[in-house]
Amino acid sequence: MEKDLLTIKDLTGEEVMELFQLAKEIKNNIDAHRKDLAGKVLAMIFEKPSLRTRVTFETGIYQLGGIGIYLAPQDIQLGKREAVEDVARNLSRWVDGIMIRTFGQDILEKMAENATVPVINALSDLYHPCQILADLFTIWEKGHDLKNFTLAYVGDGNNIAHSLIWGAARTGMKLRIATPKGYEPNMEIVEAARREGAHIELYTDPREAVKGVDAIYTDVWASMGQEAEREKRLKVFPPYQVNMELFSLAKETAYFMHCLPAHRGEEVTDEVLDHPRSIVLDQAENRLHIQKAIMRRLMG
């Protein structure tokens, strides 16, 4: 693996599978890994609030024998109180790894360029690699060969969609993306992944996209930082709600997936979110295990 994890594009297909194997090993026998990162320190920079990201990274580094230092938005104020370059250079003198949950991908890239320790993307507006690695690990852990798996993503062409695109490129999973016109994923990312062998189909009709798939994935219609667009989006996205009618068009064995938090009654109904084939809590739990594998690989 490279020094940093800024996007799944940074990984090879072999490295993705190695992370899955390591995550499974750590998950099944944490006691054998309690000292893997003994004495190591992870700086956790949060420009956006979080439940899953903070708890899973902080718990993960602790379970591997290290500690995490939580840095709230007001603690650093990246680029305002202090330049990103200076933050990176200072932190590199004190800690063994830096995890950032931020807005611009450029902030992550600038941090990685100037830090001498590993930098992990815990979410940016462009990508969410740790989430998608956890999601694909969840599917793989359930016994599926990702090369023979078709997933439909329905909703906004956001950071989740972009990371799914590179996840598909690296695992061989077939990906269908259904979005309203004007809300498609970044076409440069789509084309770049296709050039590397990704099987990606784009739709505007969610019903067409989900027919016969192995899983349906959705996300909130307005992500953090898009609150000003929320009212407009609430008028555009209702046809993309994952309800029982849409869910029933997938395979009878299909999973429902969501990165959480979910806005019940908007992008997904209670009936689907709480369905026996909803694996959202498995996804959330596996954030912990895949991130332990990532930290072990980068910081061990």
Kindly list the catalytic residues. Answer: 101, 128, 131, 219, 259, 287
Closest C-alpha among 127, 194, 124 to residue 160? 127
H-helix or E-strand spanning residue 271 = helix 270-273
| Distance, CA of 75 to CA of 102 (rounded, Å) | 14
The C-alpha torsion from 256 through 163 and 1 to 108, rounded to 10°, is -130
| Distance, CA of 137 to CA of 22 (rounded, Å) | 11
Q: In what order do the strands lie in the sheet with 174-178?
A: 199-203, 174-178, 150-154, 215-218, 255-258
| Distance, CA of 23 to CA of 15 (rounded, Å) | 12
Strand partners, 255: 215
Q: At what angle do helices 159-171 and 13-28 cross, to 10 degrees?
A: 100
